[in-house]
Amino acid sequence: MVDITPADAVPPAEVAEMELYHPHSWWTKYVFSQDAKVIAIQYSATATAIGLVALVLSWLMRLQLGFPGTFDFITPEAYYQFITMHGMIMVIYLLTALFLGGFGNYLIPLMVGARDMVFPYVNMLSYWIYLLAVLVLVSSFFAPGGPTGAGWTLYPPQAIMTGTPGGQDWGIMLMLISLILFIIGFTMGGLNYVVTVLQARTRGMTLMRLPLTVWGIFTATVMALLAFPALFVACVMMLFDRALGTSFFMPAIVEMGEQLQHGGGSPILFQHLFWFFGHPEVYIVALPAFGIVSDLISTHARKNIFGYRMMVWAIVGIGALSFVVWAHHMYVSGMHPYFGFFFATTTLIIAVPTAIKVYNWVLTLWRGDIHLTIPMLFALAFIVTFVNGGLTGLFLGNVVVDVPLSDTMFVVAHFHMVMGVAPILVIFGAIYHWYPKVTGRMLNEAMGRFHFWVTFLGAYLIFFPMHYIGLMGVPRRYNELTDMTVMTESAHHLNSFISIMAFMVGFAQMVFLFNLIWSIRHGREAGGNPWRATTLEWQTPQTPPAHGNFGKELPIVYRWAYDYSVPGAKEDFIPQNMPGSFGSSREPA
Amino acid sequence: MSVILVFLLVIVGFAGWWLSHQRLMAKPWLEQGVIGDIIGPEGSALPTAKIGLGVFLAVVGCLFALFTSAYFMRMALSDWQALPLPRVLWFNTGVLVLSSIALQCAVVAARRGQIDTVRLGLVTAGLTALAFLIGQLVAWRELTADGYLLTANPANSFFYLITGMHGLHILGGLVGLSRTTAGAWNGARPERLRLSVELCAMYWHFLLFVWLAIFALLAGWAATFIEICRQLLT
């Protein structure tokens, strides 16, 4: 079928070398750098910094929920501001930016065997616009009236009205401007990630030899490029409504006894636009996590990934399907029942490719030579957490179950498990896995294990009880849960317990951050390939990889990314760029 | 949301066609060695910059498809009052067509290496595009003078919003075009000049197409067209 030349070394290909930009000063080397690796670190550092803000905000919320009435400075307005900013930061400025801007920038060129991204200048601009977006977001904390408190979904009409914090002040304007900037910056980066995968793969790196990490990031980026315009449109139109007085989303409304000048607009229109972005966003975060976790599991179980083709198809399938499920976030908007039925069906269909992926991870582990390294621990924790979060997704995907549960803590628990905890566990695993490549040193093992166990168990102790109090009917979005019939004494105790756990998990993240900084100097020397992995980023001549990644000649790829424990081979891994035939790497019969 | 879904369907179709040429049925675990029928790097033979622009235009197309979707959904509500289109829009359309034609001439000339014609084409395209933008501003002024203000009716709001968004994209294109034009005078390498002229032309044709679609939308023909389609289907 396919014409494959024998697996001996072939002469270096006449690959047209890209013109690399060479920095001339300290500023262009480390600050206004066009090197994707530096940009990746800039993205990651910025995302982590703003993520810390989100972490602190979640503590403040838990203080209020766990111990209502104790902290006077957490007014209802402040509580809504914390909720909004926590959600927005985590979903967009942390997860999206870290997976695509951080891991995408670092890993794509290295893993496909390229010297750099294809449009390095645009890539640099992408980061600086992202930073600007973050700064605008942060500035809203200091603006008159504070940041917006509209909830991360920013639903009109309340988002731009007087009763909502920031609605008639600067908060919502800054939020919308920041989002618009983020989308512009992301589009610049996204073009790079997609076109680099398309055009800059080294010789022999066919699409079906790409590591799944690249597949995940690539597909997620394509989705993001098509989904973020919806948020862009929604933001621009809302900005018009708020600043210029148009009525795209604003119905005729009376505020404080006064008729507003708006009239006739449709808040549902905003919901459609928002969720047309919002649902793909879930998978924009999840697909890179799927890809990365596949590579972590295969490497640390010393076994080829089970069903590679199926994994690729599932990634692409999930990417396509996720564009036709958006209205399952809108069951309670009063939509037509048949409409809801359609979206419930598509939602449940997504469970099929996702389940395929979970089975394949488990089957990869089956009879593998499992090394319980820290990346592996996080990967295993991810599988469990993703399954748990996914199962409650099956509940909520059905209209009749969703309607009563929609405004309860059950939903909060569901989406935190599936798109909060699960992807973040992968991020941690990935950092422990690739930190040695980025810095040349291992992260401290003891601190890492402490971090893992407190985070993993702690996250469960936070979110498992939350399912229960959700089922009891405890509502979400309420800043004080005291005088309600559903708030029994045990529910109060659970709430306090959740809060205490949240502080402990947060503390573990401080240990992690300390580890990140401490290990740059004091970590164990890692060498070039500490995990004995096959993919190209571990085969660079220098660690950390130098500008241009691969010395004088680009590597040539002779095999797929998962040749672990091949019978007949000398070592239990064969790098992708190693020529020669080593028996068959067929899956064990 | 049907417009954006149709748009995405086109994208999915294109992606599916492309993926079907990528040996997705291959069994990579059985294949060792360099795959023989592909020589050199694994990407497409098209210049990388063109593919980059193509992806970007897909994003721009997505943006306008979403505006169109929003337009139709908002239009269905009761307070919608269509506004009369200023006649100058016809003139503007003609000017933008001219602009595209001029750039196409520049492309042909660049392929033949006729640098003078390239320069002429580029300058004509730039000036006509500027004329288009000025014409759009004239249209805005006419409308405001007649009392069709931004906030008076959602139809007006959409008119200003969508034409403004399109104008911003033309403005961005003019930045690229002016750099290309400067290159044509300062003796850029012929193959490099050819590529950038081609990129400009691609962008221009796409924005012309978007403008024609927007024009049809704002004039109400698009709604009539969709109504006919709907009746044919039912």
pLDDT in tens, A110-143: 999 999 999 999 999 999 999 999 999 999 999 9
A199:B74 CB<8 A? no
Residues 551-570 of A with CB under 8 A from B: 556-560, 562-563
pLDDT in tens, B156-205: 999 999 999 999 999 999 999 999 999 998 877 888 899 999 999 999 99
pLDDT in the model for residue A95? 96
* Integer Cα distance of A105 and A114 in angstroms: 12
pLDDT in tens, A530-569: 999 999 999 999 989 998 899 888 898 989 999 999 888 8
Who has greater pLDDT, B226 or A2? B226
Q: Residue B108 carries which side chain, given as an amino acid letter?
A: V
Task: Give yes or no for a contact between A408 and A474, defined as CB atoms under 8 angstroms apart.
Answer: yes
Burial A218-256, CB ≥16 within 10 A → b, else e: bbbbbbbbbbbbbbbbbbbbbbbbbeeebbbbbbebeee
Backbone dihedral angles phi then psi of residue A503, each to the nearest 5 degrees: -65, -40
Closest CA to A277 of A445, A96, A522: A96
Q: Is the pLDDT of residue A308 over 70?
A: yes
For chain B, the domains span 84-233
User: HEC profile for A220-285?
Assistant: HHHHHHHHHHHHHHHHHHHHHHHHHCCCCCCCCCEECCEECCCCCCCHHHHHHHHHHHHHHHHHHH
Q: Is the pLDDT of residue A588 over 60?
A: no
Name the percent of chain B in helix, strand, coil, to the closest 5: 75, 0, 20
In order, the DSSP letters of A117-166 are -SSHHHHHHHHHHHHHHHHHHHHTTTSTT-S--S-TT--TTGGGSTTSTT
Cis peptide before A337 (omega within 30 of 0): no
Which chain B residue has the Cα nearest residue A6? B33
Task: Give yes or no for a contact between A84 and A152, defined as CB atoms under 8 angstroms apart.
Answer: yes
pLDDT in the model for residue A1? 39
For chain A, the domains span 32-250+265-539
Per-residue tokens: A546:
């130098």
Fold classified for B84-233: Four Helix Bundle (Hemerythrin (Met), subunit A) (1.20.120)
pLDDT in the model for residue B35? 64
Taking the CA atoms of residue A135, residue A136, residue A142 and residue A146 in that order, the dihedral angle to the nearest 10 degrees is -140
Distance set, CA A454 to CA A53, A329, A389, A463, A507 (Å): 20, 32, 19, 14, 9
Instruction: Map tokens 């549902």 to a residue.
Output: A268
Q: What ipTM was estimated for this complex? A: 0.94
> Residue range A267-274: average pLDDT?
94
Query: At A587, is the pLDDT very low, low, confident or very high (cuts 50, 70, 90)?
Result: very low
- Single pTM value for the model: 0.94
Query: In which residue ranges of chain B is pLDDT below 50?
Result: 37-41
Residues 64-83 of B with CB under 8 A from A: 66-67, 70, 73-74, 77-80
B191 in A contact zone (CB under 8 Å): no
How many CB pairs below 8 A link A and B? 192
Distance set, CA A358 to CA A311, A429, B27 (Å): 10, 17, 21
A203:B40 CB<8 A? yes
Q: Is the pLDDT of residue A589 over 50?
A: no
Q: Is the pLDDT of residue A580 over 80?
A: no
Identify the CATH number of the domain defined by range A32-250+265-539: 1.20.210.10
Dihedral over Cα of A525, A529, A533, A538: its sign: positive
Chain A residues near residue B1 by CB distance under 8 angstroms: 272, 276
The partner residue sitting opposite B35, judged by closest CB among A4, A195, A244, is A4
The partner residue sitting opposite A3, judged by closest CB among B36, B79, B165, is B36
pLDDT above 70: percentage of residues in chain B: 96
Strands A254-255 and A258-259: antiparallel
Query: At A19, is the pLDDT very low, low, confident or very high (cuts 50, 70, 90)?
Result: low
Task: Give yes or no for a contact between A177 and A205, defined as CB atoms under 8 angstroms apart.
Answer: no
Taking the CA atoms of residue A234, residue A238, residue A239 and residue A241 in that order, the dihedral angle to the nearest 10 degrees is 150
Taking the CA atoms of residue A362, residue A366, residue A372 and residue A374 in that order, the dihedral angle to the nearest 10 degrees is -20
pLDDT in the model for residue A523? 94
Q: B225 CA to chain A: closest CA distance, Å?
A: 22
Q: Is the pLDDT of residue A448 over 50?
A: yes
The partner residue sitting opposite A586, judged by closest CB among B29, B41, B78, is B29
pLDDT in tens, A354-407: 999 999 999 999 999 999 999 999 999 999 999 999 999 999 998 889 999 999
pLDDT in the model for residue B233? 82
pLDDT in the model for residue A583? 56
Q: B66 CA to chain A: closest CA distance, Å?
A: 6
* Integer Cα distance of A568 and A559 in angstroms: 16
> What average pLDDT does the structure give for chain A?
91
Backbone dihedral angles phi then psi of residue B53, each to the nearest 5 degrees: -65, -40
* Integer Cα distance of B110 and A295 in angstroms: 47
Q: A579 CA to chain B: closest CA distance, Å?
A: 7
A15 in B contact zone (CB under 8 Å): yes
Pick from A1, A2, A268, A581 the residue to mutate for testing the B interface (most B CBs within 10 Å): A2
Chain A residues near residue B62 by CB distance under 8 angstroms: 225-226, 229
Task: Give yes or no for a contact between A212 and A308, defined as CB atoms under 8 angstroms apart.
Answer: yes
* Integer Cα distance of A312 and A292 in angstroms: 13
Q: Is the pLDDT of residue A219 over 70?
A: yes
